[in-house]
């Protein structure tokens, strides 16, 4: 076992069998973090982590085990409260903020034996698809240092990909787990809305008691099996409905006129789907029950309403500027969720792109509302990057991102694996089965 890039379950097993100590794992990751050129882990809890690991090793020697993550090092996105450890939201206004309690999800990880090593970088208030802020600076992609790891959980995905942590606890409201997982070639789970406790999420001064509507906390890992392991610690979800690839009814939605996928990414996705069909998956391309534009406009209305307290008056979407307007759009969302629940009765999973392109070069001029990206020579607004992810955010559906291949330039390409609400383990199980055909996480060249 090479600990830096081993999965969390493998690390837990190694600690349990005493082939490696938790203190050795923590020390190894701390050393890698201090030597890293990525700026992914921005606050360390080294002394407490080493002391906790030593106590866990003593328990292991006595035949005791706190839980399935006993002795496994973890990092936590810097928007999620950690008791006694700085949590800034990437904002100068919270640069010295130290919570006096853990977010419930963090507490669950600690209770299961995980050792919190540090906090991972993010854009201020999680408000970008890149990862940089005035407090900690810019995080770089381990596949190409000149490119972004994505956002807002860019530090999380970069750290996991580069072997700086056993796994990471991150957050997602519009692709913040999924886009970085795609850009960095790792696995990420956006759980079903409401499944994992979301309290303790920090996105403005004083926040944490009430999570933003639609925001979820979930893991970023190096294997699909680790997603299942961590999910079982964070929440209770039904068992998967699939046990083999041949059982899987796989729908695909691989492109749309409203958000065309770049030709190189489309080719990678096409080869992956063909390989899965060749391995026995029952693949089809049915018409989705809602149009792309309809869902994306609904997503934008709801997500901007969720963070409206941080927006200037002229930035609040008219559709949700009043409580009556918000209720009307919330009704639209509820209807869409019912329509998709019925549609999923005929399918186990739906495969979709994550974004139209792989990781792009750092661009910190202007803001997310003014920047553009080039896709096959076409300039598009930055905001369209969240398009494919936003569809399943507003629907509240569990979505796994898994790596499925690389571009000619060696950049990872991922796919979204979507399942019906609360069937998170079905999406994870499919990703695990698909990895047997497509391969899994590959260690990047930079760390």
Q: Are residues 19 and 145 in the same domain?
A: yes
Q: Are residues 159 and 11 in the same domain?
A: yes
| CA atoms lying within 13 Å on the CB side of residue 380 | 20
Number of domains in the chain: 2
| pLDDT score at 316 | 75
In-domain check, residue 443? no
CB 364 within 8 A of CB 130: yes
Q: Tell me, what CATH number does 12's domain have?
A: 3.90.1300.10
Q: How many CB atoms are located within 10 Å of the residue 35 CB?
A: 9
In-domain check, residue 18? yes
H/E run at residue 15? helix 8-16
Q: Are residues 55 and 104 in the same domain?
A: yes
Strand 216-221 to strand 249-252: parallel, antiparallel, or no bridges (unpaired)?
Answer: unpaired
In-domain check, residue 165? yes
CB 283 within 8 A of CB 275: no
Closest by Cα among 208, 194, 179 to 385: 179
Closest by Cα among 130, 33, 149 to 411: 149
Task: Compute the average pLDDT of residues 24-34.
Answer: 99
Nearest 5 degrees, angle CA 117-CA 432-CA 174?
60
Q: Are residues 224 and 297 in the same domain?
A: no
**Secondary structure letter of residue 201 according to DSSP:** B
In the residue annotation, 258 being an active-site residue is answered as no
Q: Are residues 18 and 127 in the same domain?
A: yes
In-domain check, residue 159? yes
In the residue annotation, 290 being an active-site residue is answered as no
Closest by Cα among 170, 85, 168, 188 to 123: 170
Whether the per-residue pLDDT at 208 is higher than 70: the answer is no
Domain boundary among 200, 234, 268: 234
Q: What are the DSSP E strand ranges found in 268-335? A: 282-284
| pLDDT score at 382 | 87
Whether the per-residue pLDDT at 314 is higher than 80: the answer is no
pLDDT tens digits for 262-273? 999 999 999 999
H helix intervals, 36-177: 46-61, 104-111, 154-161
Q: How far apart are CA 357 and CA 373, in angstroms?
A: 9
Higher per-residue confidence, 307 vs 190: 190
Q: Are residues 214 and 257 in the same domain?
A: no
Q: Are residues 229 and 261 in the same domain?
A: no
In-domain check, residue 74? yes
Q: Is 366 exposed, middle or buried (0-12, 13-18, 19+ CB in 10 A)?
A: exposed
Whether the per-residue pLDDT at 260 is higher than 90: the answer is yes
H/E run at residue 328? helix 323-343
Phi and psi (nearest 5°) for 400? -100, 135
Nearest 5 degrees, angle CA 144-CA 145-CA 148?
85
Residue among 21, 36, 77, 420 flagged as catalytic: 77
| Percent of the chain surpassing pLDDT 70 | 98
Q: How far apart are CA 183 and CA 407, in angstroms?
A: 11
Closest by Cα among 204, 228, 254 to 423: 228
Q: Are residues 77 and 97 in the same domain?
A: yes
H helix intervals, 62-198: 104-111, 154-161, 178-184
In-domain check, residue 239? no
User: Average pLDDT of the chain?
Assistant: 96
Whether the per-residue pLDDT at 319 is higher than 50: the answer is yes
pLDDT tens digits for 349-387? 999 999 999 999 999 998 888 999 999 999 999 888 899
**pTM score of the predicted model:** 0.97
Residue among 22, 152, 153, 171 flagged as catalytic: 152
| pLDDT score at 383 | 86
CA dihedral 83, 84, 90, 92 (to 10 degrees): 130
Nearest 5 degrees, angle CA 190-CA 191-CA 196?
125
Closest by Cα among 13, 8, 59, 55 to 29: 8
Q: How far apart are CA 355 and CA 147, in angstroms?
A: 15
The owner of tokens 């080869």 is 271
CA distances for 164 relative to 6, 36, 92, 240, 242, angstroms: 11, 8, 25, 30, 32
| Percent of the chain surpassing pLDDT 90 | 90
The owner of tokens 């005035």 is 134
Closest by Cα among 341, 308, 311 to 322: 308
Cis peptide before 379 (omega within 30 of 0): no
Whether the per-residue pLDDT at 202 is higher than 80: the answer is yes
In the residue annotation, 176 being an active-site residue is answered as yes
Task: Compute the average pLDDT of residues 147-168.
Answer: 99
| Backbone angle region of 265, left / alpha / beta, with phi > 0 → left and psi within -120 to 50 → alpha | alpha
Domain boundary among 234, 265, 286: 234
Domain boundary among 202, 234, 266: 234
Q: Are residues 393 and 272 in the same domain?
A: yes
Q: Are residues 417 and 301 in the same domain?
A: yes
Q: Are residues 264 and 210 in the same domain?
A: no
Residue among 36, 176, 265, 393 flagged as catalytic: 176
Using pLDDT thresholds of 50, 70 and 90, give the confidence band for residue 178.
very high
Q: How far apart are CA 305 and CA 432, in angstroms?
A: 35
CB 288 within 8 A of CB 253: yes
For residue 266, give its domain range: 245-438
In-domain check, residue 185? yes
In-domain check, residue 403? yes
Q: Are residues 257 and 358 in the same domain?
A: yes
């Amino acid at each position: 076992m090479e600990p830096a890039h081993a999965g969390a379950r493998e690390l837990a097993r190694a600690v349990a069998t005493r082939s490696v100590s938790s203190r050795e794992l923590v020390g190894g990751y701390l050393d890698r973090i201090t030597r890293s050129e990525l700026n992914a882990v921005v606050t360390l809890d080294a002394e407490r982590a080493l002391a906790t690991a030593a106590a866990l090793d003593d328990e292991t020697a006595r035949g005791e085990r706190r839980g399935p993550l006993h002795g496994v090092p973890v990092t936590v996105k810097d928007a999620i409260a950690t008791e006694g450890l700085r949590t800034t939201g990437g904002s100068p206004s919270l640069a010295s903020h130290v919570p006096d309690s853990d977010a419930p999800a963090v507490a669950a990880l600690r209770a299961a034996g995980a050792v919190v090593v540090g906090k991972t970088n993010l854009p201020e208030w999680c408000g970008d698809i890149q990862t940089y802020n005035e407090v900690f600076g810019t995080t770089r992609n381990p596949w190409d240092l000149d490119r972004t790891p994505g956002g807002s959980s860019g530090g999380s995905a970069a750290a996991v990909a580069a072997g700086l942590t056993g796994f990471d606890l991150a957050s997602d409201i519009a692709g913040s787990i999924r886009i970085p997982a795609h850009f960095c070639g790792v696995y990420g789970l956006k759980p079903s809305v409401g499944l994992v406790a979301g309290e303790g999420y920090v996105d403005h001064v004083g926040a944490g008691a009430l999570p933003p509507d639609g925001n979820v906390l979930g893991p970023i890992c190096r294997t699909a099996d680790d997603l299942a392991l961590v999910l079982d610690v964070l929440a209770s979800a039904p068992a998967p409905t699939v046990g083999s690839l041949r059982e899987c009814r796989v729908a695909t939605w691989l492109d749309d006129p409203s958000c065309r996928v770049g030709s190189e990414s489309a080719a990678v996705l096409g080869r992956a789907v063909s390989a899965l069909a060749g391995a026995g998956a029952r693949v089809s391309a049915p018409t989705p029950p809602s149009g792309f534009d309809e869902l994306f406009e609904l997503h934008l209305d709801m997500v901007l309403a969720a963070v409206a307290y941080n927006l200037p008056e002229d930035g609040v979407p008219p559709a949700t500027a009043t409580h009556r307007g918000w209720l009307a759009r919330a009704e639209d969302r509820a209807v869409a969720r019912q329509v998709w629940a019925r549609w999923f009765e005929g399918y186990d999973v739906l495969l979709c792109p994550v974004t139209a392109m792989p990781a792009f070069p750092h661009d910190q001029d202007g803001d997310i509302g003014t920047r553009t990206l080039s896709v096959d020579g076409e300039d598009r607004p930055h905001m369209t990057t969240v398009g494919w992810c936003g569809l399943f955010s507003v629907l509240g559906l569990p979505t796994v991102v898994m790596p499925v291949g690389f571009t000619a330039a060696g950049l990872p390409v991922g796919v979204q694996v979507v399942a019906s609400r609360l069937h998170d383990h079905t999406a994870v199980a499919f990703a695990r089965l698909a990895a047997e055909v497509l391969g899994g996480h590959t260690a990047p060249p930079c760390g």
